[in-house]
Structure 1
């Protein structure tokens, strides 16, 4: 496989057609080596329009979904970012190239180690992976400029919105299969948060977020 050709094709045939037009994001995807964050057994899938298997039944998001979420977050160089769901560390790496500091929370120890090792090899000293329950955020380190949920939730918990600075953004995929939607929330004041629907997609669940009751009376 010609890796650079495959990377180019991924950007031009999958990502750009999905309304990822921010040149800084596209350039970043050309230089951050996605293949280095994919388990060796699935290296051939690094640039394919699909989710990639990770240890413990987890999945790496499809490239176009990662790229679109990154674009919508509009991370700036001076900002601090909290990511929920480190996975293999690839999204944290992308965020790390754009932000001043990134903390990525991951509840599964196997993935904490995998992401940490991958990020170290990639030379990203401003990204830290923390083992813990991301559904509660990380209030002790907040508030944050940006919060990114790298997986879906039934609904964004208030505890995460409370950890956004004024002007801060939270990007997430919400809902239940087969209907999920990426959303962008922006804290406009100490007491107000706006919400914009971005695009429809279906992505794997994050661990330990509350699910709606299945009981109807």
Structure 2
């Protein structure tokens, strides 16, 4: 299978046609080898328009959702980004292509270990890893210019708002455990401003400010 052609086709048919237009995001999606972030048996499906299982009852999000959430952050290259839910590491790689530094938190050690191995093998040196409760953020590294949450939350975790820099952007799925809306939260002088980006469905965000395990 020609994976580069598969990536190019994915970008043109799944992203561009649905309104993803940030050239930096599109370039990152063309570059990052998504098939390396799933089991070898699923590699041929890696560029299809749907999520895939990655073990531990977790998933790798469909390419369009990854691109949509990433584009909403408006990254220019100088940012310090916090990611909640490392999972396979694919979203982490896309962020690492677009930001200066990425701090990523995963609550399941085995997933973080595998993601770190893949990311290291691909040469990403601007990623810092932590096992823990992502809903608490990473206070000693705050503030963050952008925060991306890769799991569905019942509310916006207050620690994440507190750790967002002025003018910073937070993207997360919010709703019940069956379906959510993608929400963009922007920190502005008046407080926070929320924008809905569309419907989605994610695994649960587990933690003090998320769902109980």
TM-score by length of 1: 0.92
* Structure 1 residue 134 displacement after superposition: 0.2
1:112–1:131 CA contact under 8 A, matched in 2: yes
Unaligned runs of 5+ in 2: none
Which residue does 1:200 correspond to in 2? Answer: 199
Alpha-carbon deviations, 1:17-63, whole Å to 9, x = none? 22211111111111111112122221122101111111211111111
* Structure 1 residue 178 displacement after superposition: 4.8
Which residue does 1:89 correspond to in 2? Answer: 89
* Structure 1 residue 181 displacement after superposition: 0.8
Which residue does 1:65 correspond to in 2? Answer: 65
* Structure 1 residue 177 displacement after superposition: 5.0
TM-score by length of 2: 0.94
Alpha-carbon deviations, 1:121-143, whole Å to 9, x = none? 11010012211110111111101
2:25–2:98 CA contact under 8 A, matched in 1: no
1:115–1:129 CA contact under 8 A, matched in 2: no
Q: How many residues align?
A: 211
Q: 1:175 to 1:117 in 2, by over 3 A?
A: same
Cα distance in 2 for residues equivalent to 1:177 and 1:119: 30
Which residue does 1:187 correspond to in 2? Answer: 187
* Structure 1 residue 76 displacement after superposition: 2.3
The answer to whether residue 143 in structure 2 is matched with residue 143 in structure 1 is yes
Range that drifts further, 154-163 or 12-21:
12-21
Unaligned runs of 5+ in 1: 213-217
Q: Secondary structure at the match of 1:151?
A: coil
In the TM superposition, structure 1's runs of 4+ consecutive aligned residues that sit over 4 Å from their partners are none
Cα distance in 1 for residues equivalent to 2:36 and 2:178: 31
